[in-house]
Homo-oligomer: A and B are copies of this chain.
Amino acid sequence: MSPPPSTPALSVGLIGFGAFGRLIARHLAPHLRVLAHDPFVAADAFGPDAVPADLATAAACPVVILATPVPALRAVARALAPHLRPGALVADVGSVKVVPAAILREELPAHAEILATHPLFGPQSARDGIRGLKLAACPVRGRGGLRAAAFLRRLLGLEVILTTPEAHDREMAVVQGLTHLVAKVLVRMEPLPARMTTRSFERIMEAVGMVRHYAPEVFAAIERQNPFAPQVRRRFLALAAELEAELDADRSVAPRLALVR
Contacts and interface: CB of A to CB of B under 8 A. Distances in A.
Interface string A237-255: 1011101100110100111
Contacts of A255: 96, 98-99, 224-227
Contacts of A90: none
A189 B196 CA distance: 29
Given A99-B260, A253-B71, A168 B196 contact: yes
Nearest to A220: B253
Contacts of A175: 193, 196-198, 201
Interface residues on A, range: 35 or more
Interface string A218-244: 001001111100100111110111011
A181 to B, nearest CB: 7
A125 B200 CA distance: 8
A2 to B, nearest CB: 26
Contacts of A241: 237
B210 A182 contact: no
B102 A260 contact: yes
A98 to B, nearest CB: 7
Interface in A156-174: 161, 163, 168, 171-172, 174
17 contacts: A106-B260, A121-B198, A136-B196, A161-B195, A168-B196, A174-B193, A175-B196, A178-B201, A181-B243, A188-B239, A189-B236, A203-B204, A203-B210, A204-B204, A224-B253, A227-B255, A227-B257
